[in-house]
Amino acid sequence: MNPLSPAFIGELSALLGADGVRHSPAQKAVYASDAYTLEKSLPGVVALPRTTAEVSAILRLCHARGVPTVPRGAGTGLAGGSTTGSDAVLLCLSRMSEIVSIDLPNRRLRAQAGAINIALTKAVAADGYQFAPDPSSQGASTIGGNVANNAGGPHTLKYGVTVNHVLGLQIVLPDGEILELSADDCGYDLVGLVTGSEGTLAVVTEVTVKLVKTPEAVRTMLVVCRTVDDATTMISAIIASGILPAALEMIDRTILLAVEEAYKLGLPTDAEAVLLIEVDGAEAGLNRQAERITALCREHGAVRVEAATNALDRARLWTARKKSVGTLGRLAPSHATQDGVVPRTKLPQILREIAAIGARHKLRIANVFHAGDGNLHPVVLFDERDPEEVKRVLIAGGEILAACVNAGGALTGEHGIGIEKRDFLHLVFSPEDLDIMAKVRGAFNPDGLLNPGKLLPFGGNCCPHLRRPEAEALLNLTKTRAAAV
């Protein structure tokens, strides 16, 4: 059934009320893409439920009419995961933003899926607790989207990614059935399976998360580095020393200058790169850790190490990191943020390779990333109005991913596969591996109506453009080029 037909829109409006359905082109324009702007398409209609019962009713209706449905939180995804076509209903959970319950004695919080990440911590901060996963988009992205993409963040290095903090999920299957899943259930780990499934198995409607104590003390440092190579060598040295910082982030000069111009934070404009390093925990012994890190950085060529002197100063340093992506608009009309992972010891080599890829394709590439995890975010700067440049951006993106795989890494650290990377799964998985994943998806989503064409390089409305032989050729080409860098 056509989701634009007056009959279908009438049925949806009967379920949600007129203000729960958006179908004019102007209303739908804001949903044309997520933060991966290389794919844009207006959804057939946007549905905005307020309750799990309404989500279930929408899915039942879509299932009965054979209409594809795409879940969406805040649309901050960087892999095109919540992009839809005109044949689909975009099921946007942003109005389901309530904190449902707080259970401090058991350190648990339950929230609707559309609650903004930072709202979880705000709800318990006065009691000395926090929700640890803190994506840089935490002021906008939803807990449902964080679960769907298994989001990480600067503090993932010590605290882990979203799945390490999810205790339970309420989900709705594509046919409308509502299920409660608990991490304590015996048998298959369904909470673990749904977390990171990018909306291809079920719609998450409520999430129960673990709360952790706000650390007693924190030390935050900004390390000014003469070269990117120096910075990456310091990262390896810190981790090799056995210290586990809460966060270890790198920002390169291109982004540093843009942030400084925008926010006037007093950042060092003479640095080729800076490291933002944080240690936290009990007050006792924390100064010793900070001093050891400072000494290691100096040994490996740090120009200087600036320590935050108070909470305001710490906030200033974190603003530099958290606003990095937001300032990219000053550098170019468009940007594409990559998300490969490499073993930390390969950081110096991979950053040289990325620079070479940029030079070969005449593209500016800036870097801001979760360095302690080896989770890269090379940001390709371009103008999406230039089709020839867009082509080069896509080729460079593929080469960066292949270079990460060749370095022993992975295709994604936290942004997910979406549509951006689905055809690159052949770089790491055999056809047999992918077939098993398709069978898992089929068990939850047998008609393929939920988020079709995402995550896997086949099925739904997806047409793979990179097959196994081409993937192997790309890997071989990247290996040869890497040897020359």
Ligand X SMILES: Cc1cc2nc3c(=O)[nH]c(=O)nc-3n(C[C@H](O)[C@H](O)[C@H](O)COP(=O)(O)OP(=O)(O)OC[C@H]3O[C@@H](n4cnc5c(N)ncnc54)[C@H](O)[C@@H]3O)c2cc1C
**Distance of alpha carbon 294 from alpha carbon 245, whole angstroms:** 12
Min dist CB 336 to ligand X, Å, is 12
Q: Which stretch binds ligand X (CB under 6 A): 103-111, 151-159, 247-255, 350-358?
A: 151-159
Q: Which residue has the tokens 């996963």?
A: 133
**Distance of alpha carbon 67 from alpha carbon 8, whole angstroms:** 10
Q: Which is nearer to ligand X, 149 or 294 (CB)?
A: 149
Min dist CB 7 to ligand X, Å, is 26
Of 23, 115, 159, 198, which lies in the binding site for ligand X, with binding defined by CB under 6 A? 198
Q: Are 46 and 21 in contact (CB under 8 A)?
A: yes
Of 33, 84, 136, 338, which lies in the binding site for ligand X, with binding defined by CB under 6 A? 136
**Distance of alpha carbon 180 from alpha carbon 103, whole angstroms:** 18
From residue 384 to residue 423, the character string flagging contacts with ligand X as x (rule: CB under 6 A) and all else as - is ------------------------------xx--x-----
74 counts as binding ligand X under rule CB under 6 A? yes
Q: Give me the sheet containing 203-210, strands edge to edge.
A: 99-103, 108-112, 203-210, 166-172, 178-182
Min dist CB 73 to ligand X, Å, is 2
Of 72, 253, 321, 421, which lies in the binding site for ligand X, with binding defined by CB under 6 A? 72
113 counts as binding ligand X under rule CB under 6 A? yes
Pairing label, strands 21-22, 45-47: antiparallel
Q: Which stretch binds ligand X (CB under 6 A): 8-16, 138-146, 218-226, 386-394?
A: 138-146
Ramachandran region of residue 112, left (φ > 0), alpha (ψ -120 to 50) or beta? Answer: beta
First to last CA, the chain: 54
Of 20, 153, 196, 378, which lies in the binding site for ligand X, with binding defined by CB under 6 A? 153
148 counts as binding ligand X under rule CB under 6 A? yes
Q: Which stretch binds ligand X (CB under 6 A): 67-75, 215-223, 297-305, 341-349?
A: 67-75
347 counts as binding ligand X under rule CB under 6 A? no
Of 124, 151, 277, 471, which lies in the binding site for ligand X, with binding defined by CB under 6 A? 151
Min dist CB 205 to ligand X, Å, is 7
Q: Which residue has the tokens 């318990």?
A: 124
Beta strands in 253-393 (DSSP E): 273-281, 304-307, 334-337, 364-369, 378-382
Ramachandran region of residue 98, left (φ > 0), alpha (ψ -120 to 50) or beta? Answer: beta
Q: Provide the 10 A C-beta neighbour count for residue 447.
A: 14
75 counts as binding ligand X under rule CB under 6 A? yes
Q: Which is nearer to ligand X, 88 or 203 (CB)?
A: 203
Which residues in the 19-48 window bind ligand X by CB under 6 A?
A: 34-35
Site size with ligand X, rule: CB under 6 A: 39
Q: Could you say which DSSP state residue 150 is in?
A: T
Maximum Cα interatomic distance, the chain, rounded to a whole number of Å:
70
453 counts as binding ligand X under rule CB under 6 A? no
52 counts as binding ligand X under rule CB under 6 A? no
Closest to 277 (Cα-Cα) out of 246, 299, 301, 252: 246
Query: Which residues sit at the interface with ligand X, rule CB under 6 A?
Result: 34-35, 70-78, 81-82, 93, 113, 135-137, 141-142, 144-146, 148-149, 151-153, 198-199, 203-204, 325-326, 414-415, 418, 451, 454
